[in-house]
Amino acid sequence: MHAKLTWRSAAIALAPSLSLMVLGQPAQADIKPPSCSDGADSCEVVVEIPGQDGGSSDDTGSDSGGGTDSTGSSGGEAVDPDGCEYITVDPDLAPPGIGERPSEDHVLVARACRGEDAGSVTDFQWVEADENGNLAIDPEILAAQAVDNLQLPRPAIEASPAEAQLVHLATWLWIEEASWQTQTATASVPGLTVTVTAAPVKATWDMGDGNTVTCRGPGTAWEGIDPEASSPDCGHTYMRPSDEPLRTSVTVYWEVTWSGGGESGSVPGMTTTDSVTWQVVESHSLVTR
């Protein structure tokens, strides 16, 4: 079967200090040289995977192409839980950005996912293989892929007062609970799954008046409390009115760890941010929020 596929390069190096897990031998694929536009981060390639001849089925739907099962997978290939295959690629076709081949013991492997008529080839990697072509996948490689799969929410800012802030009246700050939740993502190959966990640990608010506020949690929502009371854990009081609207931003810091294959580690801190704009005004009478 010939399928037009797209790929994106991923420069991920093996970490030899970590233990390795041996996987099955991947399918051998005939990948034509990629067609890339100048400056593009994706290219079009044509992949031919043995045993995937589209015209080999008879009227009963059985496959007569030889060596394929009902799922269309050819013998000896490595298939992950998403149904994607790990195929070896001619080293001369290494995409830009992946780096030089570390040694003659390394083979170029790509993750190939197919739909009905097309699919994608992603995550090109130099992977060490034994003399029989069996791959050794480092858990840290899957950890990097799982990090790419993380979907960290943008912090949803809430405050009281909700719009204009009042001089000498405490502003309560908090982040909506839905955007302050632990997030997880996984990446897998046959026999090995790595899970990445990202937990929000603190929020730093730039109040727009030259002051910053660091909160060790999402903050406390104001709900009918004394209007003149201060937030117990995350708030600010403006001392001067602003001539122009102030931009207030919040940055949430995430602690990211991974585990799998008997290994574990951490990922340099990840952040998400958002901002709002409000005016700071004076009021000479009590304002009820």
- Tens digit of each residue's pLDDT (9 = 90 or more) over 12-53: 222 222 222 233 344 444 444 444 455 544 444 444 444 434
- In the structure encoding, which two tokens stand for residue 37, read together? 């536009």
Contact between 202 and 215 under an 8 Å Cβ cutoff? The reply is yes
pLDDT interval class at 99 (50, 70, 90) = confident
Average pLDDT over residues 270-274: 96
* Confidence grade of residue 189 (pLDDT, cut at 50, 70, 90): confident
58 has a pLDDT exceeding 70: no
CA angle at 238 for the pair 233 and 240, rounded to the nearest 5°: 170
What's the pTM? Answer: 0.60
Query: In terms of Cα–Cα distance, which of 147, 156, 133 is closest to 203?
Result: 156
- In DSSP terms, which residues pair with 248 in a beta bridge? 276
Question: Does the pLDDT value for residue 3 go beyond 80?
Answer: no
Q: Indicate the pLDDT class of residue 184, thresholds 50, 70 and 90.
A: very high
Q: What is the per-residue pLDDT for 51?
A: 41
- To 5 degrees, how large is the angle CA 233–CA 152–CA 183? 80
> What mean pLDDT comes out for the span 157-178?
94
Q: What's the mean per-residue pLDDT of the chain?
A: 73
| pLDDT of amino acid 224 | 82
Report d(CA 30, CA 48) in Å as an integer: 5
What confidence tens digit (pLDDT) does each residue in 210-252 have?
A: 999 999 999 999 988 888 899 999 999 999 999 999 999 999 9
Res. 104: pLDDT tops 80: yes
pLDDT > 90: percent of the chain: 39
At residue 70, the pLDDT reads 25
Return the domain boundaries, the chain.
Answer: 2-137, 157-281
Closest-CA residue to 241 (of 166, 170, 148)? 166
Instruction: In whole angstroms, give the CA distance from residue 95 to residue 211.
Output: 47
- Convert the pLDDT of each residue in 109-133 to its tens digit: 877 776 543 456 667 778 777 777 6
